[in-house]
Chain A
Amino acid sequence: MSKFFGILILSAFFLSCSSDLDFNQAKDVKSEPVVVLNLATFDVPANEFVVNGAEQNVAGDILNFDVFRDTYFNDSLRRTDFYFEIDNTINRAYRINLYLLDANNSPLYTIPFDVPAYSGVRNLVTKTEIFEKAKLDQLKKTKKIAFGIAMLPGPALSENSLGSLKLRSSATVYFVVE
């Protein structure tokens, strides 16, 4: 009699059914995350363009930007958008250049901005740079980023001048992870 029960239980295993499964699908796994992050931020008050009573018509800085040293990051990168937003509240026009530099400080790519003087009305200067394909390859060689600001002629600034030159910038990074 116990055999009967044994068979009953075992048959539960062998008569059990399963839908058709395909574990090979796991090979197709792929994700395409899109990450947004701050790329750059600055806010230079008008009085910083005046040192000891004299206008400083050029300013700049070079910063390291070696995110592309990671090969896994590089391989998964498909596209990168840089978005810039410049809000000038100084009564002077500016020419701003952002330079992507390689390891030898040679420019790979330049992003220029013409920023008009403030006239009492907010005037946002925006720009989107999309790096894909060959342009993305240029970006991947970037090791440093330099900012250059040239103040264009206009009404004189003093240490008491109001306003600032403000930049907010974001990056939108598109990955394909397989």
Chain B
Amino acid sequence: MEGSTNKKQSYLTVNQFALIIFGSIVGVGILSLPNGVVKVAHQDGWISTLVGGIYPLYVVVIARYISKEFPNDSILILSKKYFGRFLGSIFNLVFATYFIYTASTIASFYSNLMRNYVVEFLTPIKIIVIIFICIMYAASRDLKVIGIISEISFYLTIILLLSPIVALRVASISNIYPVFGSGLSSIAKGSVKSSFAYAGAEIILLIYPFLKEKKKMLVSSLISVALVIVLYVWSVFITTYYLGPDIVSKNFWSLLLVMGSVTITVVNNYKYIFMFLWSLIAFKSMSINGYASIHILKDFTKKMDIKKICFLIYPLLVYLAFKYGNEISRQSISDIVLPCYIIFNLLYMTVIAVFIFFKGGAKA
């Protein structure tokens, strides 16, 4: 930022770095995560989720490899270096659209959810317009701001996701039996499905140059991804355990049903408290994606002010989020688009890593 004078303060701390990765993966999607997975893998959904965690782990390992060779260049520079200026820029643009897509789909998801449960008096366009004003405000700040927000929302996430622990009392063990009963092929299919929910770890490719202590990069990011996996498995497990595999897929936001089991005196409905606090987590995910997309686009137009990019991208985000429509259509779009992006991201970073491996690192 212009006002900041202290250079060393603009770097991320290890905690912030790890929690941005955490925050980028864990967003509102976790509320409907059990649906897709359990539909395919039935009572073994949680095993699928565990296996699906390979995807973010792979991303982290690749990022570690790339950052070891080029500690100060993010993937944007590397892609131009290895694919050439033209092709590299196109790939970067696709990478940016991935974040734009994610930000807008989260907004649409969030507005559908909120309208369904809490603020039915607001139209979707109102919610989306207002959300993106806030998101653009947050995304136009320093990466450090995103880091601090991620830190705060991390603790919130942990508390909120562990709260359905009380559901263990009333659940039935027969809901998850027989383990491995749905067959290996179903579990494998479920894993692929769940790996989509792990999308978001790619942010690490953009932010590693900002980490102060590069040595701790691998450990911290692995811990944060491991935490994500544990929380995801826990969410799928508790949902299946509490509701049973047949009911899970009947609700768009099955995890929310589990939240219904939490009763606090005086508070009539824990779900509302949960959704209110979860809003912060949704905003944080959108801000991270917003930040990523703005900063990739910034790479194209070196001269343009960040604020101008925000103004340009804002209508696009609002339009997209509005166009996804209700939850069913949003999910069906997401089922098609997200796998494409995941495949693209996988290829994009793997190919760059391979290039680095063969063409040599920074020394070459």
A binds B: no
Chain B contact residues, CB within 8 Å of chain A: none
Chain A contact residues, CB within 8 Å of chain B: none
